[in-house]
């Protein structure tokens, strides 16, 4: 099963430049998650990176989406970015907040996103192993960005996770990847955009993701994905676009689905297609 979607689904005007309101979502008040699920069968939850969800909120997410819909959960930054660690209470709070998704059989996996400054050393490897062990009962994908982790990717399976493959601006210290891990049963791919000049220097953080992939930029991934997915070991694949400003992530997710021969069947909003005429031929 291949699932294609976006990183997050709620980008109102209050989140900064590039709101989805009036572009993908109607201007009138809309159940955005329900609207989103007409077009995609999975979404990556972004909000849990900043704070745990409440069980009530997660239960609402599960109820408002179709039976075959799945969520992947970006793990709270307390676990990935805080060297001081976390408390047992915080761990319980996070796990309790995603429990309703697991109970509804809609929890695809957990995403552990580490900062680019997180380098591979014996100490950080031990830290990663310990963290993954705490979440041993969940499928896990780990996003590592620093080049020092390049040769470690093949070892992810032995510590209970898969590596997350990422498309983003490449710098000297960026990780090098090939979309294939022998024996892996799950694949996770994220597109962050290629806004090289705004990646580290920007007035608003949204600027770094304000990038629309051209169909020809996605094509090499499509060819590689089709080849990799012929491997019967891989039972599910998650592909998410994080280039969210102006709903560019939605546009690229639609393109990707079309190129993978799993096109979106629901009619796209007229205003959205006008903004992204590339979708007319999809």
pTM, full prediction: 0.95
Read off the tokens for 49.
């990176």
Q: What are the tens digits of pLDDT across the range 24-76?
A: 999 999 999 999 999 999 999 999 999 999 999 999 999 999 999 999 999 99
* Burial class, 191, CB count within 10 angstroms (exposed 0-12 / middle 13-18 / buried 19+): buried
> Which is nearest to 42 in space by CA: 106, 98, 102, 99?
106
Phi, psi for residue 187 in degrees, rounded to 5: -130, 140
Give the per-residue pLDDT at 84: 79
Among residues 226, 122, 123, 235, the alpha carbon closest in space to that of 184 is found at 235
Domains, the chain, in order of start with CATH, read 2-281 (3.20.20.410)
Strand partners, 21: 25
Range with top average pLDDT, 17-31, 63-77, 198-212, 263-277:
63-77
Q: How many CB atoms lie within 10 A of CB 89?
A: 8
Q: What is the pLDDT of residues 68-91, one digit of tens each?
A: 999 999 999 999 998 878 999 999
Task: Give the residue ranges of DSSP H helices in the chain.
Answer: 32-36, 55-63, 77-80, 88-103, 122-134, 215-228, 248-259, 270-275
Lowest pLDDT segment from 143-147, 179-183, 241-245, 262-266? 179-183
In the predicted model, what is the mean pLDDT of residues 153-157?
Answer: 88
Residue 265's pLDDT band, with cuts at 50, 70 and 90, is: confident
pLDDT score, position 233:
81
- The two structure tokens encoding residue 171: 């710098």
Token pair listed for 195: 């806004």
């Amino acid at each position: 099963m291949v699932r294609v979607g976006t990183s997050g689904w709620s980008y109102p005007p209050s989140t900064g430049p590039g709101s989805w309101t009036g572009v993908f979502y109607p201007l009138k008040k809309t159940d955005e998650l329900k609207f989103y699920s007409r077009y995609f069968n999975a979404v990556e939850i972004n909000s849990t990176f900043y704070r745990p969800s409440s069980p009530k909120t997660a239960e609402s997410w599960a109820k408002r989406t179709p039976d075959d819909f799945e969520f992947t959960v970006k793990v709270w930054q307390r676990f990935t970015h805080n060297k001081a660690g976390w408390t047992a209470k915080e761990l319980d709070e996070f796990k309790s907040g995603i429990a309703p998704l697991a109970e509804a059989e809609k929890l695809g996996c957990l995403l552990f996103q580490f900062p680019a400054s997180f380098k591979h050393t014996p100490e950080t490897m031990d830290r990663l192993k310990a963290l993954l062990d705490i979440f041993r009962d969940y499928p896990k994908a780990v996003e590592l960005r620093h080049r020092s982790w390049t040769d470690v990717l093949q070892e992810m399976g032995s510590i209970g996770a898969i590596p997350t493959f990422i498309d983003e601006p490449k710098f000297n210290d960026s990780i090098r990847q090939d979309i294939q891990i022998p024996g892996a049963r799950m694949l996770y791919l994220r597109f962050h955009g290629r806004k090289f000049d705004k990646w580290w220097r920007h007035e608003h953080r949204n600027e770094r993701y304000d990038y629309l992939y051209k169909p020809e930029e996605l094509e090499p991934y499509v060819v590689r994905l089709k080849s990799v997915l012929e491997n019967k070991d891989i039972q599910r694949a998650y592909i998410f676009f994080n280039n969210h400003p102006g709903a560019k992530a939605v546009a690229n997710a639609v393109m990707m689905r079309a190129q993978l021969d799993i096109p979106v069947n629901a009619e796209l909003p007229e205003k959205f297609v006008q903004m992204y005429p590339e979708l007319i031929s999809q």
